[in-house]
Amino acid sequence: MRKANGIITGKPFSLHRRGRVWYAQFKTPSGAWTTARSTRQTSRNRAEAWCVQRLVEGDIITLENITLDQWSRNFFDWDGPWTINRRAAGKRASMRNCLEQARVLTNRILPTLGGLRLADIDTLTIREFRNNLYRNGMSASSINKALGVLRNLLTAADEQGLIRKMPRIEASSGRPRYRGILSVDEARAIFNVQWTDFRGYVASLLAATTGLRASEIQALTIEDLHLDDGYIIIHRAWDERMRILNPTTKSGRARNVIVPTSIRAELARLVDINPRPGPAAFVFFSTKMRGKPCEQRIFWRALYAALELIGINADSRKERNITFHSWRHFANSLLVNAGIPLLTVQALIGHASTDMTRHYHHLDTADLGGVLSAQERILTERTHQPETSNRRNQNGEPARDRIERLPYRGPGGGPRQLPGSGGPAQDADQHSPGVGAPGADPPLQEWRMGTVFQTGDTGVDRTPQG
C-alpha cells in the first residue's frame, strides 16, 4: 500500500478526504476508476473497512452498472461536486439552490429514472419522462426545472466519461401559466381602500411603481434608503425559506432605484415607527422576530384583502393569476408603455442580461424624469398626511401604538382613525393610508419578452412567465 498526496493506493480502491469525510473510488476491470462515493466515515480505518465490505458484497459502482440514483447521491450537497464546480468557476451558488435542486431530484426524477443505468438514459427516455410530467398536469416551468436538474447530472456524468453520448434534452413549452396584472384603474382603486397592514400597503406601493421583488423589499435596510436624493439601493435579497440574507439579488447585480416622492414619505413613516431603528434595521420589520424582516405572507395577505375590497375575490384572483409578483409585471408594463427605453427599464427592474448590464453602468439618474412621471400615473396628490406620535416606551423604543393607531384613508378618500387595541403589535397590525382616488384611464398596454399588445379590464399578461 502506498500513500501519495493524501490518497491511499495499492488496493482495488482509493480513499481521499472532502472536509472530514472519506470518499472512495473503486478500480474497475478496465482499469478505470469509479466516481467518488462517500463512505460517511471520518476515520480512515473505518472508511477502509467500509470499502472492503462493499467489495465483499459486490456493491461496486462501475461504468457498466452505475444508476442515476447512485450517481446523484450527494451531488447537490453544499460540498458536493455540482456546487463546488460552480463556486470554483466563479458562478453563483446558494444553499437554497442546492436544496431546491435536491428536492426536485428526490420528488420528480428519482421515482421514475433513479433505477436506470446512466448508459440507458437516452433522448427517447428523457422525452417520455417529460411527456409523462405533462400528462400529469405539471406546468411547463416545473417540467423544465426537472429537466434542468437532470441536465446537470448527465452533463457531469458525460464530462467524467460515465456515458458515451450526452442525450438531447428538449424543453417543454406546454401549459404555460400567464401572469395576471391589474389595470391602472384597479391599481388606483386598490390604493384607496383600507389595508390590513401598513407594511403590506407600502410593499405593494413600492412593487407597483418600481417592480421590486418581494425578497428585495424584505432585504431593504434603513441604510439602503437615500430618500433625500430620491432613490434606494437594491443589492441583497431575503431568502424566505432559509431565513437568511443573501449577499446579492437574484440577478447577482446591485442597482439604484428611483422612488416617487409620495412613496418616499411612506418609507420614512416605516422608519419612524420601526421598534428597533438603526442603520442595519430592516425597513419592513417583523414585530415577532427581532432582527428579521416581516414574512412575505404579510405582503400577500394585505394585498389579497385589499383586492377583495375592490371586488376581486379569491376565485377571480386565482383565475387571473394575480399574486404579489404581478406588481413586477405591472411596473414593467407601466414603464414600457410610457415610452421609457427598454434598456433603462431592464436596468431599473433588475432583469439580467448582458445588454442591460452594459447600459446600466452608464445610467444617469438625471435622465429619469420620464420614469418618475410613469410611476406617478397610479398616484395622485395627497390631501391628508397621517400624523404619527413621537411617544416612546420606557426602553426608549417607539411606542407600540404608533404601529397600531396609524390612520388610513377610507374608500371615500377622507382620513379615518383605526381603534387601537393597546396590546402588543402582531404581524396582522391594521393600519394604512391611501393614495388618491381612481380615475378614468385607457387600457394598459402589456409588454413582456418584446411583445406589446392591448389588454382589457382583466389585465392579463398573455406571455409565459419567465
Residue 366 has pLDDT above 60, yes or no: no
Residues 445-457, mean pLDDT to the nearest whole number:
28
**Helical (H) or strand (E) element with 245:** strand 244-246
Contact 378, 188 (CB under 8 A): yes
Three cell numbers written together for 410: 377610507
Residue 328 has pLDDT above 80, yes or no: yes
The predicted-structure confidence for 372-430, as pLDDT tens digits, reads as follows 676 776 665 333 333 344 444 445 554 433 343 333 333 333 332 322 323 333 333 33
Contact 158, 117 (CB under 8 A): no
Contact 466, 449 (CB under 8 A): yes
The predicted-structure confidence for 56-67, as pLDDT tens digits, reads as follows 877 665 556 789
Which DSSP category does 34 fall into?
P
0.75 exceeded by pTM = no
Which range has the worst mean pLDDT, 39-43, 95-99, 177-181? 177-181
Residues 211-238, mean pLDDT to the nearest whole number:
94
- Structural domains of the chain sorted by starting position, each given as residue range(s) with its CATH number in brackets: 1-64 (no CATH), 66-176 (1.10.150.130), 181-464 (1.10.443.10)
Residues 272-291, mean pLDDT to the nearest whole number:
93
H helix count then E strand count, the chain: 18, 16
pLDDT on residue 176: 60
Percent of the chain with pLDDT over 70: 70
Three cell numbers written together for 167: 442525450
Average per-residue pLDDT in the chain? 75
Instruction: Compute how many other C-beta atoms are within 10 angstroms of the C-beta atom of residue 131.
Output: 13
CB within 8 Å of 125: residues ≥ 6 apart: 113, 116, 167
CB within 8 Å of 255: residues ≥ 6 apart: 233, 234, 235, 249, 347, 348, 350, 360
pLDDT on residue 27: 77
pLDDT on residue 90: 84
Residue type, 110: L
Task: Please report which confidence band the pLDDT of residue 351 belongs to, taking 50, 70 and 90 as the band edges.
Answer: low
Question: What one-character-per-residue DSSP string does 407-419 give?
Answer: -EE-TTS-EE-PP
